[in-house]
Structure 1
Amino acid sequence: MQEHLTIVKHPLVQHKLTLMREKDTSTAVFRQLLREISQLLAYEVTYELPMTTRKIQTPMQTMDAPVVEGRKLALISILRAGNGLLDGMLELIPSARVGFVGLYRDEETLKPVQYYFKVPDQLDQRLVIVVDPMLATGNSSAAAVDLLKQAGARDIRFLCLLAAPEGVARMKEAHPDVPVVTASLDDALDEKGYILPGLGDAGDRMFGTK
């Protein structure tokens, strides 16, 4: 995975994203769509995992069969909205280790404030996939990756549903070694730091809060 930004243009991803953008989509349907789209995005972000083989016995004979190499993946959710992507990915990769980074955005400064950090051990030996539906200003995402690198992570990918140009630029400036995978590069941010056209606040829409 070489490019800093990968936009997943698969028809099912784009169709489900359109349904999620619509303001009249219910919380239950939004949550289900997020679970479904996260599995499709997980397919993309894990596409180039290192492989090895091991000997197995099929009903017909023995063979050297392909398996994923190395330690189990680490999925890191940026709370709270990241949990929506996390749930779907865990259905696809149930053996993954899971961590959480709690950051909230100060409404005045738009800067991230940390309140929670709990991640798996041996991050230096794992592929670390950070998940958060929205890459808006990029400040929280960059701060989360800072913390993960401090905890030892070396091979990091960032997965989001929507990205704003400002967020992509911020991540590339702060962490040029971290590829970003998203379903859409939207137009811009508004004065409050929300993505346009976007889909509103992903956490609120997922959990039915305001």
Structure 2
Amino acid sequence: MRIEVVDHPLVAHKLTKLRSHETHSATFRSLTDELVTLLAYEATRDVRVEEHGIETPVAPTTGVRLADPKPLVVPILRAGLGMLDGMVRLLPTAEVGFLGMVRNEDTLEASTYAERLPSDLSGRQCYVVDPMLATGGTLAAAIKFLVARGADDITAVCLLAAPEGCDALERYLEGVDVPVTVVTAAVDERLNEHGYIVPGLGDAGDRLYGIAND
């Protein structure tokens, strides 16, 4: 497993604004979209392409296009939806699948409650989007789910990660025989006793969409 922290002043600038408790939902959503587009640029550096001949207004030439099968973008519901537009802006021809996963706040373990994905992902590159790599359980469960369907290359795009989550993800994925890369804007200091990233940016889902009433 490889962790890539994107070191760019625009990434740092947008992340700083995201962290602020004074940033309201509308601005938070806009900043998330912009930040994910920057992260997606790095995350797709190894996207598979094939040669493609074209005619320019001047002469024929050979370029590249995305290879088949097209990559699959997989937001983890619900917070991952806030990152989807930023990904498909750079991968407009990619397919999109959905995974609904929930973390038990007592055990911190993740379970799947919904999915909308192709039944066969053989030969597919998958880009999983989830704002926070905290305990690592949710992302690990998502990656294993995709590998079980046949995905052979997985990149996770996260706004933030915690050191404990990175270490746990590597442990959870022992024996998973496909390349896994995590692309993030920062690896923060630690997790607190509630499993939240410190200093972090709070609950990304709540800040994107508000807090649902029971």
Common fold by TM > 0.5: yes
Offset at residue 121 of structure 1 (A): 4.7
Larger deviation, residues 118-127 vs 182-191: 118-127
RMSD: 1.4
| Structure 1 residue 120 corresponds to structure 2 residue 118 | yes
Q: Distance in 2 between matches of 1:205 and 1:37?
A: 15
Letter of the 2:21 counterpart? K
- Asked if 1:68 corresponds to 2:70, the answer is no
Following the alignment from structure 2 to structure 1, what is the Cα–Cα distance between the partners of residues 103 and 52? 46
Contact 1:4 1:172 in 2 (8 A): no
SS in 2 for 1:32: helix
The match for 1:16 is 14
Task: Identify the residue that residue 163 of structure 1 maps to in structure 2.
Answer: 161
- 1:34 aligned residue: 32
Output the CA distance in 2 between the equivalents of 1:113 and 1:67: 36
1:45 maps to what in 2?
43
Aligned-pair identity (%): 47
| Amino acid across the alignment from 1:18 | T
| CA apart distance, 1:84 | 1.1
Offset at 1:151? 1.2
CA distance in 1, matches of 2:139, 2:4: 16
Kept in 2, the 8 Å contact 1:98–1:120? The answer is no
Structure-2 separation of matches of 1:193 and 1:52: 43
Query: In 2, distance between residues paired with 1:93 and 1:48?
Result: 13
Contact 1:6 1:180 in 2 (8 A): yes
1:200 is the counterpart of 2:202: yes
Alpha-carbon distance between aligned partners in 2 of 1:128 and 1:98, rounded to the nearest angstrom: 9
Return the letter of the residue paired with 1:87: D
Aligned residues: 208
What do residues 117-173 of structure 1 show as CA deviations (whole Å, max 9, x unaligned)? Answer: 111354222110111000000011111111111111111111100000111011112
The offset of 1:205, in angstroms, is: 0.3
TM-score when normalising by structure 2: 0.93
TM superposition score normalised by structure 1: 0.94
Cα–Cα, structure 1 residues 122 and 57, in superposed 2: closer, same or farther, change >3 Å?
Answer: farther
Q: Select which of 172, 178, 181 maps to 1:179.
A: 181
Amino acid at match of 2:74: I
Pairing partner for 1:88 from 86, 94, 108: 86
In structure 1, list runs of 5 or more residues that go unmatched: none
Q: Is the 8 A contact 1:52 1:67 kept in 2?
A: yes
**Greater CA drift, 92-101 or 173-182:** 173-182
